[in-house]
Structure 1
Amino acid sequence: MSTTFPMVTGNGNGTENCAATNRSLYNFYAAVMIIIFILALPLNASVLHLFIFKLKFWKSNSNNIFLFNLVLADILLLFCLPIKAGNFIRGERRSYDKTVCKGMLFMLFLNRGASIAFLTVTSIDRYFNVVHPGRKNLLKALKKSPQISIFIWLLLLPLTIPTMLKTFECCNSHKDRVDEAGNELENEDILIKDVVDSLREVVFFTQIIIPFIILVYCTVHIVNRLRKKTVGDKTKLRRAVFLVTSVMVVFSICFLPCILARMILLIARVRNWSDLSEDIAAAVFDGLMVLSYSDCLLDPLVYCFCSTKFKGLYLNSYFPCLVRGRDMKEDSGNSTGNISNPKRANAVI
């Protein structure tokens, strides 16, 4: 049963309405986030442990450094989900406590941006390895050191500043012409507000659109290159094609719908659609943002467990009882010895 809330001001946030107008729907969103958190946290934590203590990613010549940072960004993002779920259960689209709200926005956008950034860098690295294996490039030289990863994290920090402004999450861009006290803004203040509103929307959209374009370009060229190969195990080639294609599909499902929904919500706010239409657009946007958090669950499955060697190493490390029976039936030189060797796992990730 839906419950409609009146306009809420909440801690000096002006006339911005951040109330969840459909409690049952937002309770469902909260349940989905809790499920994602319960499933993804132990999965990402175990993969992170494997990278540090088994694979020693910092010594690897492969793209394990990028994958480690990808998993790290996802696991940091996961800690925001219980707080976000609590807001939804209380009928709030975001916390009315300014400190909590801005802290959440900082964590959400920094770590989601990092997740997308390292996913993109990993795709670029694979593009050069497959399409231009002999060509020297800056990324190939830098990926052996942590400097490029540190640079990516530092680069993302200033990009989170526009997203932490008070009206961002409830998508009030280019609408209100009043300050926090409810007074009309002067023309100069309105211009400043419009510039800031436009800047944060540019950050939101480009954070997804540009990596998607890069991902599509790399995926198409990698798939074409792999399909032209006549030497090698056909099964492995098909698995490699499936892997790079699945990355693009997961990215498309998780992130593209939310930018489309945000565009519609922006139009609804700017053109002053009816309250019902605006509430529907807001609810759809929030639901698709919840869908984007499932990327934290899918990333380790797509990037790590598509490798049979990594999957074997993972099972051998955390669930040895599942592989013990199989290992007894196979030659030790072709099964356990290879699976438990981190160097062999490094070669395929």
Structure 2
Amino acid sequence: MEVKNTTGNLHCHSTEELGSLFLPIVMSVEMIIGLPGNAIAMWIFCFRMKSWKAHTLFLTNLVLADFLLIVSVPFRIDTHLRNEDWVFGAVLCRINLFMLTVNRSASIAFMTAVALNRYFKVVHPHHCVSHMTRTQAALFSGLIWTIVTAFSIPLLTADLLQKHGNISLCRSFSSYETVPLVMMIHYMAFIAEFFLPWLLLLFCSGRIIFSLRQRRLERQKTVRRAIVTVGVISLVFTICFMPGVITGLGAMCIKKFHPSDCDTYRRFTQGFKMCIAFTYLNSTLDPVIYCFSSSMFRETLKNSIRHLCSYKKEFSQVSSSTTSS
């Protein structure tokens, strides 16, 4: 498919790259760590869990979202190594950006769902949400995937592959002179899906701590675990998603109010591209959330490690006895 030369429609565009090897190296490390971590998590959730609860279903869906990212990241690594030259065609460009966006949105949604589950169990233990069944949790998870996919559809309909000289650029956040309507919707969703859940997580954290101190329950083990779970989710959420949102908003403000200040605009856009590494980091850090938020997951992981060590020990003893005989 031929790519139209749209250089004239780009605002303050530059092919200069800051830290051209930074993103490929960081994303490679994240993929190398994230792939086995999430594969182990999926194995535990699917084959080792003895009982399933609502928050277990939410965590399993979080693993699925991470796998969407892991499948897509190698294409981005290759592109950055080629100085952002996308060589896989227009269709794969749309699919790749669609999957990356779905991962981000689904990760945010299911992290928020886990935090809200803990919030209701601690602050409103008699609320119907605190007693959500597996079927209800599965239906709610399906609703989340439907909404996330619907808001990401613009990436499958927009012309995202742009020609700049000899380079084909595949970006969902391009330096458009005039932003198309479908991409404006995507930008608004990108900002809203960070700030709304982030404020909600901060609210849940504050209400849990305040409620428990009022009831003087903060020293109980299960209660402390709820506080730690929401705290870890809030921390991972902030580290992974805030840098990209802040730099993206900065670039949009410069373009809106100081369109001729191309130097500052390029600094923000370059910073935004560097912060993509933090967005991808969520798939690497999510296994930490599994350990803190699910005691069943933690115990199953410990038991699996013990069985593996026992098997290795028995295998070593058999091998040594065979050798000696």
The TM-score normalised by the length of structure 2 is 0.80
**Cα distance in 2 between the residues matched to 1:94 and 1:217:** 42
Contact (CA 8 Å) 2:205, 2:231: kept in 1 or not? yes
Which of these residues, 106, 109, 114, is aligned with residue 117 of structure 1? 109
Alignment gaps of 5+ in structure 2: 161-170, 312-325
**Cα distance in 1 between the residues matched to 2:66 and 2:191:** 20
Contact (CA 8 Å) 1:125, 1:139: kept in 2 or not? no
Which of these residues, 10, 27, 35, is aligned with residue 33 of structure 1? 27
Deviation at 1:124, TM superposition (A): 1.5
Which has the larger share of helix? 2
| Alignment RMSD | 2.9
**Cα distance in 1 between the residues matched to 2:230 and 2:45:** 21
**Cα distance in 1 between the residues matched to 2:32 and 2:88:** 26
**Cα distance in 1 between the residues matched to 2:85 and 2:193:** 22
**Cα distance in 2 between the residues matched to 1:206 and 1:197:** 14
1:22 alignment counterpart = 17
1:49 alignment counterpart = 43
Contact (CA 8 Å) 2:54, 2:137: kept in 1 or not? no
Deviation at 1:274, TM superposition (A): 4.5
1:172 alignment counterpart = 175
Contact (CA 8 Å) 2:117, 2:130: kept in 1 or not? no
**Cα distance in 2 between the residues matched to 1:317 and 1:277:** 52
Deviation at 1:321, TM superposition (A): 5.4
Contact (CA 8 Å) 1:19, 1:93: kept in 2 or not? no
**Cα distance in 2 between the residues matched to 1:250 and 1:135:** 27
Deviation at 1:94, TM superposition (A): 5.5
Contact (CA 8 Å) 2:53, 2:134: kept in 1 or not? no
The TM-score normalised by the length of structure 1 is 0.75
Which of these residues, 114, 119, 126, is aligned with residue 118 of structure 2? 126
Which of these residues, 255, 275, 280, is aligned with residue 293 of structure 1? 280
Residues 65-100 of structure 1: CA distance to partner in whole angstroms, max 9, x if unpaired?
111001111122122111111111100076672112
1:312 alignment counterpart = 299
- Residue 20 and residue 96 in structure 1: after superposition, are their counterparts in 2 closer, same or farther (change >3 A)? farther
Deviation at 1:256, TM superposition (A): 1.4
**Cα distance in 2 between the residues matched to 1:316 and 1:51:** 14
Matched, 1:244 2:239: no
2:79 alignment counterpart = 87
Which of these residues, 222, 234, 242, is aligned with residue 256 of structure 1? 242
Contact (CA 8 Å) 2:225, 2:292: kept in 1 or not? no
**Cα distance in 2 between the residues matched to 1:80 and 1:13:** 26
Contact (CA 8 Å) 1:47, 1:300: kept in 2 or not? yes
**Cα distance in 1 between the residues matched to 2:130 and 2:297:** 27
Q: Count residues in correspondence.
A: 296
Deviation at 1:130, TM superposition (A): 0.7
Alignment gaps of 5+ in structure 1: 1-9, 177-192, 325-349
Matched, 1:272 2:264: no
Greater relative contact order (CA < 8 Å, ≥ 6 in sequence):
2
- Residue 267 and residue 71 in structure 1: after superposition, are their counterparts in 2 closer, same or farther (change >3 A)? same
Contact (CA 8 Å) 1:21, 1:279: kept in 2 or not? no
Equivalent position amino acid for 1:171 in 2:
S
Contact (CA 8 Å) 2:244, 2:279: kept in 1 or not? yes
